[in-house]
Every structure is written in structure tokens, then in C-alpha cells.
Structure 1
Amino acid sequence: MHLPIDLVMKIYYMILAVIGVPVNLVAIVILSRGKCGLSTCTTRYLVAMAAADLLVIITEVILRWINLYYFPVSFLDITPVCSVIAVLKRAATDCSVWFTVTFTFDRFVSICWQKLKTKYCTGRTAAVVLATSCILLSSKNIPHYFVFEPWVIIDNVPWGCATIPAYVTEPGWVGFDWFGTVLTPLLPFAAILLLNTLTVRHILVASRVRKRLRGESKGENGSDPEMESRRKSVILLFTISGSFILLWLVYVVHFLYYSIAGINPDYYKDSISTFAQVGSILQNLSSCTNTFIYGVTQSKFREQLKSAVKYPVSSIIQLIKKKQNN
């Protein structure tokens, strides 16, 4: 027996919200304390990514999908309100994606350009890059407010957000849509793949050189703290960027389809609609995977997480013992 796709998505988005909000909040709190053994600039990028992912969960999963499935008629469905939510959702998504790119570039500079590292890989530079990216990406999404029209008008109140037909027919809107998707996620795809390729190439070359200098090529064994530190940094980098590429792939294929076919998504056939929904499911899943990646790849993050989990339990136990003693 197969469950209807709508029922699957209804359950999925509730689970995603229940998991996504706390895990991103936990990541923000733990990383902000600066006790995970990461540099200041790396910490700021990861905190920003977690914050952007949290906003995606709130705007896309909670305000859009959970509202749609569990509260089919609410003030959030008034056309101006859902238009604002759409703008916020796209801005949050863009920030989440491009913060991943800026983090990837920061790690690329840190690993491959040692001379530039001391100037670029700083907390101040990270703050400037993140703030500038956020402002530009948010401004870019303002026109999306005008992409929607009401499904119906009741007592002079517009309800629903239907995509205007001109969005897929008029050259201006089509170009704007292409620009938006090239910016997120096509260009990030290319940038991340290029930066990771260059990083791997540099690491392989540097590893051979260091082994030769340390005499390991002659059979001498010994640990190399610098290469070990670099290895951990690369594992974190590749798991984050690799997860992003895999989870956004279906969305990219869907965009290419409807851009070439010129079909309004509001009028899809069932099979294409299901494919688009799968793309949305995977895309939104990317908003709560980074915390699990930190837990798997970063031992100090796991230690901080264990301490955070144990703290309320130990506090309750101490409180109970104190009351018993009294």
C-alpha cells in the first residue's frame, strides 16, 4: 500500500520542523561559545550557516508547508503576507547557499594560499563577507514580492499566492528567474566543485612534498600535525559541500526542465509535480544536515554537545538531592 505524496509530505515537514529548529539552535549555541577548536573565521561562517538554515526551516517549512497542510486557511494565506514570506524564504535560502560558498572559499584560501591566509581568514573579514552577502542577496529577492497574484478575492481581501502567468512567458521575468537560479544554486554548484578540486590538487601536491622533506618516502614513519589538522579541515569542508550538492541536485534538474518546457509550476501534471516535490523535500533537508555533519566530523563539537545534553539532567539531579537534604 502506497501512501499519497501529500500525506508523506505532511508527515515529513512536521518531522523536519521538529528536528530542524532545535538542531540548528543547538549548533548556533555550541559554535558561538568558541570551544570547538575552530578558528574565529570558521566559527563565524558555521554560525551564519546554521542561522540561515534555521530561517529556511521557519520560513519555508513552518510558515509555508506546515501552514498549508495543518492550517489550510489562516492569515498567512493573505496574498501580501504569503508574498512577504516567499521573499523571506528565498532570501534565507540564498544566504544559506552562499554562506556555504563563502565558507568553502575561506577554507580554500586557508589551505592553498598561506600568504593570503593571515589577511583574509580573520573574524573581521568573515563578518564583512557574511554581512555584505546577506544584504545583497536579500535586496535581490525583493522583486519576488510582485511575482504573485491572488487565487481569489473575498470581501475585498486577496487570498492565496498564485504565480502570475507572465513569470514564465515575459522575457523580463524569465530572465529574472534564470538569474535567480544561476545565482542559487547553479553558480554555487560550479564554484564549490571548482574550489574543492583546486583544494584537493593542492593537498596532494603539498602532501608529496612534505613526505619527501620528512623522509617518509624512504620508509621513515612519523606523525605530521599540520597534515592531520589539514585533513580534519578538509573532511569538514567536503562533507558540508558534498551534502549541499547532492541534496540540491533534483531541484536543479527540475528548474532546467520547467525553464526549457516553459510550463507554469502551478499547472504541472501529477508526475512532474511529484518530482518537483521531491526536489523541495531534499532541498529543505539540507537545512538541518550540517549539525549532524559537525557531530560526526568534529570531536570537540561532540564533547560540547554531550555537555549540553548532560547539563539539564545533572542540574535536576542536584536540585532533587538538595531538596532531599533539606
Structure 2
Amino acid sequence: MAAMALADLMVCMFNVILQNIFRYHILNSWLSYTYVCRFTAFIQVFSSQLSVWFTVSFTFDRFISICCQKLKLKYCTERTASVVLTIVCLLSFLMNIPVYFRYEPYSIIDDIPWGCRTVSGHFYSPAWVAYKWINTLSSPILPFPLLLLLNSLTARHILVASRSRRALKSRNNGENSSDPEMKNRRTSIILLFAISGSFFVLWTPITVINICVGVTETPTFKGSNSLYLAIRIALLLMYLSSCTNTCIYALTQRRFREEMKNMVKYPVTVITKLFK
């Protein structure tokens, strides 16, 4: 969960604040240097991909911990988590290296390269087209069925276990009394489908646009304000998705809610002690 939060924070910093606020509202800044522009373009794609695959990794970890009790003891450890996160980071880093070379200087002033524009071969070169499709498949088309499958299997396991527990409890007590464990399981099912639903809803618009662009081989969008607005809204939803998963997971954790309450109460407690 800490890795998810870190990846989501990277998306907020680089994709939202740096790219969509500073770069467009603070002209001729250090962000306009070509090398900085290339790096920020790389880190934006890298952080978005990390956010998606950390969510998939965490979902798989929950699936193992709930559905595979024998494998849980070997897989659900700090060492395994570190290995999985390292592999995801390394693969994402290597896969997005071509993004850095996708841009060239827009102009050269006093021997200093300024701005970034896409290299001409990016739209027509078979290598770039293949890379673009691989990138689209890896994030988010492939995570769609993975999240749906893992969460469905986990929810099915919880429902089956809940029926058995309910039948056993009814047989022993003769009535359906309140069961805190059943409430926790219902909360887990709601959590799982909230994660899947939010991911599908928020990533679907930009995925459809990317597929349409790839199929129609449209290099740029010109002369359509409504289409440009749709693209911006799709990007906004995609960035929002990077924040919702961590928030949903965190807010459903009892210890996290307790720490949040303590954080809110702390200033009041300090002020009260000062006045006393």
C-alpha cells in the first residue's frame, strides 16, 4: 500500500502539477529545456504505469492472502513484496526508456535545445507503432481482465466461506445473530468491486481514444474543440484513477482510520493542554 501511495503521489506531482500546471502556466522556465522535457515525459508514463501495476500486484497479494491459505505463508511476506515491487519497477523502467527518445528539440537558441516535439518517425515507423501498441496493451488493457479475474475469484471465495459460516452459526445458535466477521467480509466484497469499478470507469475513456488513434492511424487531432475537450477529460479521469485506489484501500483499513482520527485530534489536544 505504501508503494501504491508513492506511485500515486508521483502521478500527482509529475503528471498533474508539473505537466498540466507549471509547464503551461509558467512559460520559458527550466521545464522548457529539451532534456528536462524528455525526462518529465518519461517519468509521467513511468509513474502512471507503476500506479496501475502496483494496484494489480496488491490485488494479487489480497487474492493469495484470502483464497490460498497454504501459499499465503510463503508469498505474503515482506521479502516477497520487496521482490515483486522491484521487478515491477525494473520492467516499467526498461519498457518506458523509448519514451525519452520520442522527442526532439523544438528549437535551438544559443546552442541550447528548447521545447519538445515528437519525432516525425513516431507516427509512421513500424517500430514506434509496435511499441505504442505494446504500451497500450500493458497499461491498461491487460490489467482490466487481471483485476476483474482476481477480484471475482476473491469475492467468490468470500461468498462461499460466508455461506458455510452462516449455515454453521445458524445450526449452532438456532438463529441468525449478528456476526462481525460477516460484516467484515461484506465490506471486503464491496471494497474489491469498488476498486475494479473505479479502475474500469476512469481508464476506459483514454483507452478507447488510444485504440481509436491506433486503428485510424491519426497522428494529431485538429479542428475539433469538442474532441480536444474529450481528450482532456479522459486524461483527467485517468489521473484521478491514480488517487482513488489507494484512498479506497486506506479508508477501509481500521488502523488507518484510527491514525487519521488521532491526526485530526492532535492539534486540539495540544491547544487544550496549552490553555490548561
Q: C-alpha displacement at 1:267, in angstroms? A: 5.0
Q: Under a length normalisation based on structure 2, what TM-score does the superposition of the two structures give?
A: 0.90
Structure 1 distance, partners of 2:90, 2:114, is: 30
Contact 1:108-1:199 at 8 Å conserved across structures: yes
Counterpart residue identity of residue 273, structure 1: Y
Instruction: Output the aligned Cα RMSD.
Output: 2.4
What is aligned with 1:100? 55
What does 1:1-326 correspond to in 2, within 5 Å? 46-215=1-170, 220-224=175-179, 226-265=181-220, 267=222, 269-290=224-245, 292-294=247-249, 296-319=251-274, 321=275
- In the alignment, structure 1 segments of 5+ residues that lack a partner are 1-45
- In the alignment, structure 2 segments of 5+ residues that lack a partner are none
Structure 1 distance, partners of 2:249, 2:198, is: 12
Counterpart residue identity of residue 153, structure 2: L
Corresponding residue pairs, total: 276
Aligned-pair identity in percent equals: 50
Contact 1:111-1:199 at 8 Å conserved across structures: yes
Contact 1:152-1:158 at 8 Å conserved across structures: yes
Alignment deviations for residues 37-92 of structure 1 (CA, whole Å, 9 cap, x no partner): xxxxxxxxx11111100011111112211123320221111111111111111111
Alignment deviations for residues 188-239 of structure 1 (CA, whole Å, 9 cap, x no partner): 1111011122222222333333333334599621355554443333333332
Structure 1 distance, partners of 2:126, 2:268, is: 60
Structure-2 change in CA distance of 1:132 and 1:187 (3 Å): same
Structure 1 distance, partners of 2:253, 2:84, is: 24
Q: C-alpha displacement at 1:302, in angstroms? A: 2.2
Contact 2:4-2:246 at 8 Å conserved across structures: no
What is aligned with 1:38? none
Q: Under a length normalisation based on structure 1, what TM-score does the superposition of the two structures give?
A: 0.77
SS at match of 2:28: coil
Structure-2 change in CA distance of 1:73 and 1:110 (3 Å): same
Q: C-alpha displacement at 1:126, in angstroms? A: 1.5
Counterpart residue identity of residue 143, structure 2: P
Contact 1:49-1:99 at 8 Å conserved across structures: yes
Structure 2 distance, partners of 1:82, 1:171, is: 25
**Segment of structure 1 superposing worse, 173-182 or 235-244:** 235-244
Structure 2 distance, partners of 1:289, 1:106, is: 19
